[in-house]
């Protein structure tokens, strides 16, 4: 919801059908991301020998699927105007708990996956309850729980990986559809469809958007903002756990360091995907497709730069510069459209 202006405004000029088409397609972040993805795909195909090879497309698809889920796990909290710095810690804790149930307790992989998602939801609920009951900003709370969750996991597991997992998990991670397509990417597509349905067609999704846009107005209209924020963090925990499960399928083991120290390796893709996709950091606006495309762009840039033999340290610097250029290009596009009176 946007604040209404107190100044009189001239009646909007009737727009043609072509203008509406341009506004809907050219006016969003999604169009800019599609153009960038196509441009870099052509560039990397011409500049490297292996970018378009079936093996690289398969590995790139696996990485994209995981990065998309990580982006979604942050997006669903940003919608409420908050942050979740503990997405990596939650993901690792969830898969380590699932690894324990499967390797030590003999659970089947479906029960192990259920345990993984349940732990993710529980840790997300802890974050949500701590934020709403204390009134402290989610940045501080999730920064603290990131260390608490990760430290507790290391203490309980003694930092030992679970490598004797059911063979079906590793087989799923290595599965190739049509020779190049990873099922992990299909999981990400299915998750995007569910989230799109949530925000477009359900009362819960509309309450999440309303709570992020204007908490006070949402309270006046009867929405329990505190319960809605908890629901956002529970959903974030589930998505982080699912991302961890997909990473476990790729590695074939549940490893404490799979998301880096304290899960910090997930923070960059978690923020970049939704912000590039057009989800407002202030809350109230979400773009599931934009987050999906933002994660695809980040994964492609990382893969292409590594194939160009750019050092991993410099990849982060190049990635930041290229993403900054993307943001400036998008800003220029919006100004151009506004100059021609095409609504964004």
Find tokens 């190739």 and name the residue: 176
N- to C-terminal Cα separation, the chain: 15
How far apart CA 166 and CA 254 sit, in angstroms, is: 12
State the DSSP string of 279-341: --TTSS---HHHHHHHHHHHHHHHHHHHHTT--HHHHHHHHHHHHHHHHHHHHHHHHHHHHTT
What's the pLDDT score for residue 284? 79
Q: Check: CB of residue 128 under 8 Å from CB of residue 229.
A: yes
pLDDT of 82 higher than 80: yes
Q: What is the pLDDT of residues 202-212, one digit of tens each?
A: 999 999 999 98
Contact in structure between 87 and 70 (CB atoms under 8 Å): yes
pLDDT of residue 310: 81
Q: Averaged over 84-99, what is the pLDDT?
A: 94
Q: What is the DSSP letter of 254?
A: B
pLDDT at 89: 94
Tell me, what's the pLDDT at 323?
A: 65
How confident is residue 5, by pLDDT bands cut at 50, 70 and 90? Answer: very low
Instruction: Tell me what the mean pLDDT of segment 303-332 comes to.
Output: 75
pLDDT digits (tens, 9 = 90+) for 14-59: 444 445 445 555 566 788 889 889 999 999 999 988 898 999 999 9
Q: Has residue 2 got a pLDDT over 90?
A: no
Residue 313 vs residue 240, higher pLDDT: 240
Q: How far apart are CA 11 and CA 273, in angstroms?
A: 36
pLDDT at 224 over 50: yes
When pLDDT is averaged across residues 179-207 and rounded to a whole number, the result is 94
pLDDT in tens, 269-288: 888 888 888 777 777 788 89
Q: What pLDDT, in 10s, does the model give residues 225-254?
A: 999 999 999 999 999 999 999 999 999 899
Round to whole Å and give the CA distance between 314 and 320: 10
Q: Is residue 314 predicted with pLDDT exceeding 90?
A: no
Whole-angstrom distance, CA of residue 315 vs CA of residue 309:
10
Residues in contact with 36: Cβ distance below 8 Å, sequence separation at least 6, in sequence order: 297, 326, 329
- At residue 10 the predicted structure's pLDDT band, cuts being 50, 70 and 90, is very low
Pairwise pLDDT comparison (102 vs 265), residue with the higher score: 102
Among 315, 291, 262, residue whose Cα is nearest residue 29: 291
Average pLDDT, the chain: 85
Choose between 333 and 127: higher pLDDT. Answer: 127
């Amino acid at each position: 919801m946007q604040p209404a202006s107190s100044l009189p405004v001239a009646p909007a000029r009737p727009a043609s059908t072509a203008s509406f088409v341009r506004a809907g397609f050219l006016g969003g972040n999604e169009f800019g991301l599609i153009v960038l993805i196509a441009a870099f795909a052509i560039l990397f195909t011409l500049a490297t020998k292996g970018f378009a090879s079936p093996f690289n497309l398969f590995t790139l698809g696996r990485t994209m699927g995981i990065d998309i889920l990580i982006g979604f796990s942050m997006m669903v909290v940003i919608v409420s105007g908050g942050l979740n710095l503990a997405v990596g810690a939650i993901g690792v804790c969830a898969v380590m708990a699932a690894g324990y149930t499967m390797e030590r307790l003999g659970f089947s992989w479906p029960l192990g996956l259920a345990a993984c998602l349940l732990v993710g939801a529980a840790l997300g609920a802890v974050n949500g309850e701590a934020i709403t009951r204390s009134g402290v900003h989610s940045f501080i709370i999730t920064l603290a729980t990131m260390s608490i969750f990760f430290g507790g996991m290391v203490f309980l597991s003694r930092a030992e990986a679970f490598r004797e997992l059911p063979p079906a998990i590793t087989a799923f991670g290595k599965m190739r559809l049509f020779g190049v397509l990873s099922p992990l990417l299909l999981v990400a597509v299915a998750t995007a469809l569910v989230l799109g349905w949530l925000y477009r067609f359900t009362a819960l999704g509309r309450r999440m958007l309303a709570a992020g846009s204007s908490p006070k107005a949402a309270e006046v209209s009867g929405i329990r903002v505190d319960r809605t924020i908890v629901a956002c963090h529970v959903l974030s925990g589930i998505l982080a756990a699912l991302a961890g499960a997909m990473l476990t399928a790729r590695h074939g083991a549940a490893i404490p360091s799979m998301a880096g120290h304290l899960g910090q390796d997930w923070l960059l893709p978690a923020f970049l995907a939704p912000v590039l996709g057009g989800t407002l950091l202030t809350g109230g606006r979400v773009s599931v497709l934009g987050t999906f495309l933002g994660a695809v762009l980040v994964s492609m840039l990382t893969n292409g730069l590594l194939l160009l033999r750019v050092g991993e340290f410099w990849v982060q610097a190049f990635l930041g510069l290229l993403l900054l250029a993307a943001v400036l290009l998008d800003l220029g596009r919006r100004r151009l459209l506004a100059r021609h009176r095409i609504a964004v």
